[in-house]
Amino acid sequence: MSGFEKLSSNKSFEGWLNKYKFTSEKLGGLPTQINVFLPKEAEKGPVPVLYYLAGLTCTEDTGAQKGGFLRDAAAHGLALVFPDTSPRGAGIESEEKDWDFGTGAGFYVNATKEPWKKAYNMYDYITQELPAKLATSGLPLDTKTASIMGHSMGGHGAVTLYLSQPEGTYRSASGFAAILNPTRCPWGEKAFGGYYAGGVEEGKKSDATELIKSVGKSRKIELLLDQGTEDNFYKQGQLLPENFVAAAKEAGVPINVNFRDGYDHSYYFISTFGPDHIAFHAKHLKA
């Protein structure tokens, strides 16, 4: 099973949530963990895959345990894959210093700056290595039929991976309270300044607002975004959805963005609108 070691298995909504551990080459040869939810339909054959990328300080367990996604994924016959948010144990001196950089804060990019570039290659891990390992794992997954979603830093990851990968890699993408213009916010400036040799300027290749400008009208964009109006990080200028909306409008790219009155940044918000996101992806994955 591609070196997968099963750590746990829990039945849920007639399906199974399994946790696996394996060694990742893209993450510097370090062990990493994922959760995979298999719906009952997987007993009959491979099912489409929906990836969930979690936010700052989170792990592979956060979305699986707090998102409330399993019921709806089971109802739609979708597999869910929950990766970790960074490599762990890379042995970099400042790796554990800050909650918003280093461990738990990989930002789903490939670092080009020492000493981070050996292990902090979350972009390649999510887009290349993880799908390849899942495809040869023996699990009943149709890895060629995939979509992606995420929260906060993970929403940034979901949107930027969707926009930067070849059309069809992911059939759809969605984000909850996504960081949508990281080159213009403190979180992104810190991350890109630390991970990229070219700093924030190089980080434009990992900025959803910059990417949407050049996506091209020939590509049909299937993107759903939800943002709570009482989100403190939104109020602090960390997320900047308006910048993304303006750039998409200028580029002539239609997108679906909802501002949800009274909701914050928490998993109470995510679990409220999670069913909408699962249904959105199911429509594209089952098309």
Name all contacts of 27-30 with Cβ < 8 Å and 24+ positions apart.
27/87, 27/119, 27/120, 27/121, 27/122, 27/125, 28/87, 28/90, 28/118, 28/119, 28/121, 30/87, 30/88, 30/89, 30/90, 30/119
Question: In what helix (H) or strand (E) does residue 13 lie, and over which residues does it extend?
Answer: none
Please say if 76 is a catalytic residue: no
Between 72-86, 147-161, 216-230, 262-276, the lowest mean confidence (pLDDT) is in: 216-230
Please say if 284 is a catalytic residue: no
Compute the distance between CA of residue 216 and CA of residue 119 in angstroms, rounded to an integer: 33
What pLDDT shows up at residue 216? Answer: 75
User: How sure is the predictor about 45, in pLDDT bands with cuts at 50, 70 and 90?
Assistant: very high
Q: Name the catalytic one among 72, 231, 277, 281.
A: 231
What pLDDT shows up at residue 150? Answer: 98
Please say if 265 is a catalytic residue: yes
Q: Name the catalytic one among 24, 86, 152, 172.
A: 152
Assess whether pLDDT exceeds 80 at residue 127. Answer: yes
Mean pLDDT of 31-45: 98
Q: Name the catalytic one among 76, 265, 277, 281.
A: 265
Count CA atoms closer than 13 A to 194's CA, side-chain side. Answer: 21
User: How sure is the predictor about 287, in pLDDT bands with cuts at 50, 70 and 90?
Assistant: confident
Count CA atoms closer than 13 A to 47's CA, side-chain side. Answer: 23
Compute the distance between CA of residue 30 and CA of residue 77 in angstroms, rounded to an integer: 32
What pTM was estimated for this model as a whole? 0.98
Mean pLDDT of 84-93: 97
Q: Residues in the chain, how many? A: 287
Per-residue pLDDT of 213-252, as tens digits, reads: 998 777 999 999 999 999 999 999 999 999 999 999 999 9
Mean pLDDT of 181-205: 98
Assess whether pLDDT exceeds 70 at residue 1. Answer: no
Question: In what helix (H) or strand (E) does residue 83 lie, and over which residues does it extend?
Answer: strand 79-83
What pLDDT shows up at residue 176? Answer: 98
Q: How far is CA 100 from the centre of its chain?
A: 16
